Amino acid sequence: MSLCHTCEAVKRIESAKGSVFWMCTRHASDPRFPKYPPQPVRACVGWIRASPSDGLDAGPRDSRVERE
Ligand code: SF4
């Protein structure tokens, strides 16, 4: 599983053909983050766990994970 799947900064995009893409919204303000990070992302300095209202996985917020 990729960190992006539980990150508050991700936008899940599904194409008309059913392909799923994970867009990093941090890309717009920080060039360290690719717009479409190669998956799976195992470590990332920008990761913050999504809140339940984001519609993704919920749990404690923690941004201490490091990018590989
Ligand atoms: S900040 Fe990191 S974990 Fe979050 S969406 Fe962007 S690349 Fe994925």
Provide the pLDDT for residue 56: 62
Cis bond before residue 38 (omega within 30° of 0)? no
The answer to whether the CB of 50 is under 6 A from ligand 1 is no
CB-based contact 41:26 (threshold 8 Å): no
* Cα 6 to middle of ligand 1, angstroms: 9
How remote is the CA of residue 39 from the centroid of ligand 1, in Å? 10
pLDDT tens per residue across span 49-64: 998 777 665 444 444 4
The secondary structure of the chain in percent helix, strand, coil, rounded to multiples of 5, reads 15, 20, 65
Is the beta carbon of 33 within 6 A of some atom in ligand 1?
A: yes
Q: Check: CB of residue 37 under 8 Å from CB of residue 22.
A: yes
Give the global pTM: 0.78
- 29, pLDDT greater than 90: yes
Per-residue pLDDT band for 25 (boundaries 50, 70, 90) equals very high
Answer yes or no: is the C-beta of 49 below 6 A from any ligand 1 atom.
Answer: no
CB 4 within 8 A of CB 37: yes
Tokens of 48: 């913050």
Q: Is the pLDDT of residue 67 over 50?
A: no
